[in-house]
Each structure stands twice: as C-alpha cells, then as structure tokens.
Amino acid sequence: MEIKSNVKNFSFYRRKTSNIIMLTFSLLAALVTLIPLIFIFYYTISKGITYLNLNFFTKLPTPVGESGGGMVNAIVGTLILIAIGGGIGIPVGIFTGTYLSEFGHNKFGSIVRFLTDVLSGIPSIVVGVVAYTLVVVPMKHFSALAGGVALAILMIPTITRTTEEMIKLVPQSYREAGLALGIPKWKTTLLIVLKTAWKGIATGILLGLSRAAGETAPLLFTALDNRFWSTNVFQPIASLTVYIYQYASAPYKDWNDQAWTAALVLIILISLLSLIFRIITRSKYKTTN
Amino acid sequence: MGWEMYTNSVLSIRKFGFGFLTSTTWDPFSQVFGALPMIYGTLISSLLSLIIAIPLGLGVAVFLSELAPAWLEKPLSFLTELLAGIPSVIYGLWGIFVLVPWLRDTVEPFLQNKFPNSPFFQGAPYGFGMLAAAIILSIMVLPIISSISRDVLKSVPNSQREAAYALGATKWEVTKIVLSYAKSGLLGAIILGLGRAIGETMAVTMVIGNRPQISASLLDPGYTMASVLANEFTEAASDLYLSSLIELALVLFIITIIINIFARLLVWSTERKWKLSPM
C-alpha cells in the first residue's frame, strides 16, 4: 500500500512539475518573441531621428564626406516603383481573383489557385531574376519599369487571394437579383459583385502595396539605383530600400546614420499605408452593422 | 518563369552539367562556377534558424491558443504579425549595427572560452557569419511559424480538450494531445517557415559575411544562394557568369517550389481530415 501511494505521489508531482515547466516555457517564448520587435523599433526610432529633418525630404544625396543631403529621389523613386507595380499588379490580381471566385470552380480554377499559392512562396530575389530576364535583357538596360514588374509579380498573389475571399463573401442573392433584372453576367460581376466587395479588395491591395514597398532584393538588379533626380521609368531609379542596403554596408558613419533614417521613413511610409488599411476595414464593419 | 530561367541558364548548364551542384569552386576570375558552398550555406543557415525558431514559435502558438486570456491574445497576435511586416532590409540594418557587434564582443568569445575544442566555434569571432545569419533568420521565420501554428491549434476541436480534461489531465498534457492532433498542420507551418528562410535575401546577405566556403564553424562567414544573387548579379561581366547566376536562381526556385507544394499539401490534408470528421 505504502509503496503504491508513493509511486502515485511521485508521478503526480512529476506531472505537476512538467506542467509548470512547459507552461512557463510557453510564456517565456511569447516574451522572447517580443524582444527583437522592441529592439528593432527602439533602434530605428532613436538612431533614425537624428537625420530626420526637412533636408532629408527635399535634398538629393551628397557625395561621400559631405554632410547633409537627403533622399528625396529615393522617396519619390519608391513611390514611383510602387505605382508601376500597382498599375500592373492590381488589375491582374483583381481579375484573377474575380475569375477564381465567380468562374473558377473547375479544374483550371484550382490549378490557378494552387499556382498563385506557390507563386507567393517564391523568394523575391528569384522574382527579381525573372524580371531581369523578362525586361532588363530585352531593353538592354536597368529601368524603373523592370523594378515595377518585379514588384507586380510579388503583389499578384496577395491581391488575388484577398479578392477571391472578399468576393466569396458577397451574398449569392445579389448575383441572382442582378441576373433576374436581365443584366448580363459580366455586368453583374463588374457593377454589383465587385462594387459590394470593393472595400475588402482595397485592403488586399494596400497589403500588397505595403509588402512591395519593403522589398529590396528584386530591385537590386532591376531598378538598380540612381543618385540623381529621375522620374523617367525607362531609366534606373533610386529606392529607399536599396539605399538602406547600400548605406548600411558602406564604411562611412554618415551613411550608416542616414540608413537608419531611411529605415524610419520607410517604416512610417508602410505604417501610413496600413493605417489607411485599418480605417477602411473599420468603415466596412460600420456599414455592414 | 521556370522556362525563362532555364533558357537563360542553358550556357552554364551545358558547360558544368551536374558538376555545378557538387563543385565547391566559385571563382569568377577563372570562370569556374560550382554552387555547393552556396547550397550548403543556404541549407545550414535555414536549418539552424529553424532549430531556434521551432521551439519558440510553437511556444508562442501554444501560449496564444491555449493559455492567453482573450484580452492578451489579440494585441499579442497583432505584435507578432507586426514582426512579420518589417521589411527584411531593416532586419539586416539592425543585424549589422546591433546584433553583429554584440555577437562579436560578447557571445562569440564566450562560446569560444566555454567550448575551446568544439569544431563549431573555431576561427576568429568576426560577428559576421553563420551564427548571425541563423539568428536573424530565426527572428524572421518566427512570426510565420507562430501565426500559422496558432491557427492550426485553434482549429483543433474543443471536444478533444474537454475529453482530456475529463480524464484528469493537466494543462500541459491536454496541450500535448492538442499538439499531436495537429501534427501535420504544424509540420506544414514549419516547412512554410523553412521556405521563407531559404529564400530570404537581404538580411542574410548583410550579416552572413559572404564568402563561398564550407566550414563546420558557426562563426565563419558563409554564403547563400540568394545572397550570391544579390551581390554579384550586377557585376556579372561574362555571359557564362550571368548564366551561372541564373542557374543558381533556378536551383533556388525549384527547391522553394518543392518545399512550398509539400507544405501546402500537408496543411490541406489536415484541413480535409477535420472536414471529413466534424466534431
């Protein structure tokens, strides 16, 4: 009897301790995960703030050794690249997503759906190589257009999937109502279904755009870099992310500091995008309530 | 896309054949290109990062889905997703100026003192190297693993938990049951994380040291496929050089596609399993 209860006690305590140990580990894991986040934000803000002034937004980069200067060309360049990427990626993504949810309930549709998923997992640098062979090689020089194509390829999966999910949420009765009024199917899709799902789709677009804004790898050998003011889409163009990479790897302290500022500006830019994203989703809930 | 890369790399495929994948020499000056050091670097840095990220990621997922009270779960999930939204170049920036000096001055000398004979900690502590790359990668992979596993764990039917509690199980024992129920979905989450780690370019390029060599030491610089592309693509002066780089991209592309298809199928198959047996 005695032995038996001892065994029971032992296993009870063992179970209790392992319970506590594992649960504590889980809590610690959650805390450890937050540490890098806090660190990164802390450093980006505290180091980036030193160069964050009007010059940064209005002046061109200065040569090494000369202090001051800004990155206005890179900020504009990033915006241009996102615009080109969006100009190609948004329509393709929306149309693919619409096709998948309205007409894609067949074998072809599921193949496209699967390929979109696979596309979203392809490393961005590989996308850059593809954009290089597709655009840079035929045109024989680097250009903002090539960078935009690379960003578009990266955006398409995100936009396609959100469009499909959002359109699926549109009640079937809307479509039936449209068809009952004798409106052709394409018009129903375009004017009724897409219009109803529009806000949801917009969030997908913003998500895609903000991802693209943070991409560096595919721009390195498509959009390249440009130290001067340029808005010509057929010429190389500067971007914030490529500047961060170059300035961080450079051996000049001045440049390193500016890299932090560029990082801060980039984060602010992306947060602005996601702020808009949040406002749009909120107003969506208001209207449905 | 695959075709486009194949046609552009025909030159190096013809010249080097399968030797491209097994040769260790990468020498642009004498026009000899072998990709083994990069393939090695890519795989090792990714696997090391998974060793760090899997226990942490699963720990976070368990915390979020099983332990955290509702008021804590939302903001915490939001923060982990924020971690996923930071551009990789900013991770690299942070890696260069914060992580690398810390490793160089504190962690690596400490490791060398503690394990003077271990083959993993030989060589000068540069800071830049495999270890730095693995740590940065694990931070970047963590949010993917934790958010997907959280979703997988949440979709485990509550009846499983209730049944275990009814048998007098402790919280951790219940969690073990939930984890084993969600096994293949969790594996899928991990493999998706692996796919991300293998393809990650900027942050790794900035901290790994960029030297095409195979070395057991974690402190030595290495090279990954993605960072070769990032560094050398614009410098590729000859057609053969360029086509070797594109072939490297093709190899990377094929590896990630296989990994992704495998992971998707795993996640799908678990979802289907639950749909067939609704509880």
Instruction: Flag whether residue A122 sits within 8 Å of chain B, measured between CB atoms.
Output: yes
Specify the long-range contacts of residues B108-115, CB closer than 8 Å, at least 24 apart. Answer: B108/B219, B111/B219, B112/B219
Cα separation values, A273 from A170, A200, A205, Å: 25, 15, 10
B152 touching chain A per CB within 8 A: no
Non-local CB neighbours of B202 within 8 Å, separated by 6+ positions: A216, A217, A241, A245, B88, B89, B91, B92, B230
Amino acid found at B274: W
Which of residues 268 through 287 in chain A touch B, CB cutoff 8 A? Answer: 270, 274
Which CATH homologous superfamily contains domain B40-220+254-276? MetI-like (1.10.3720.10)
For tokens 């610690």, name the residue.
Answer: A28
Query: Quick count: other Cβ atoms within 10 Å of Cβ B15?
Result: 16
DSSP-derived 3-state class of residue B33: strand
Q: Tell me if chain A has a CB within 8 Å of the CB of B138.
A: no
Q: Which two tokens stand for residue A133?
A: 């062979």
Contact status, residue A72 vs residue A59, Cβ threshold 8 Å: yes
Read off the tokens for A76. Answer: 């504009």
Q: Determine the number of helices (DSSP H) and then strands (DSSP E) in chain B.
A: 14, 2
Domain residue limits, chain B:
40-220+254-276
Which one of B202, B239, B246 would you mutate to disrupt binding with A, by most A Cβ within 10 Å of its Cβ?
B202
CB B275 within 8 A of CB B65: no
pLDDT-wise least confident of B47-51, B147-151, B241-245: B241-245
B177 vs B160: CA distance, rounded Å: 8
**Tell me, what's the pLDDT at A50?**
77
Cβ-contact A238, A227 below 8 angstroms: yes
β-pair partners for B27: B32
What confidence category does residue B91 fall into, taking pLDDT thresholds of 50, 70 and 90? confident
For the cut 60, the answer to whether the pLDDT of residue A103 exceeds it is yes
pLDDT digits (tens, 9 = 90+) for B69-89: 778 877 887 787 778 778 888
- Give Cα separations from A25 to A19, A31, B67, B191 (angstroms): 10, 10, 12, 23
Contact yes or no for A263 and B59 at CB 8 A: no
Please report the ipTM that was assigned to this predicted complex: 0.78
CB atoms within 10 A of CB A45: 15
Q: What distance in Å separates the CA atoms of residue B4 and residue A210, rounded to the nearest whole number?
A: 28
CA distance A132 to A136: 5
Q: Which residue from B56, B77, B79, B55 is spatially nearest to B68, judged by alpha carbons?
A: B77
Under 8 Å between Cβ of A4 and B117: no
Tens of pLDDT, residue by residue over B246-262, are 888 888 888 888 888 88
Mark which residues 165-194 of B lie under 8 Å from A by CB: 170-173, 175, 192
Q: Do A44 and B94 touch (CB under 8 A)?
A: yes
Residue A287 has a pLDDT of: 46
B128 SS3 class: coil
Specify the length of chain A in residues: 289
Helices A124-131 and B183-199 pack at an angle, to 10 degrees, of 50
Q: What is the pLDDT of residue B278?
A: 45
A56-99 pLDDT tens trace:
777 777 666 566 667 788 888 888 888 899 899 999 999 888 88
Q: For chain A, what is the largest distance between any 2 Cα atoms, rounded to a whole number of angstroms?
A: 89
Look at residues B166, B172, B151 and name the one whose alpha carbon lies nearest to residue B67: B172
Q: B74 in contact with A at a CB cutoff of 8 Å?
A: no
Q: Does domain A57-288 have CATH number 1.10.3720.10?
A: yes
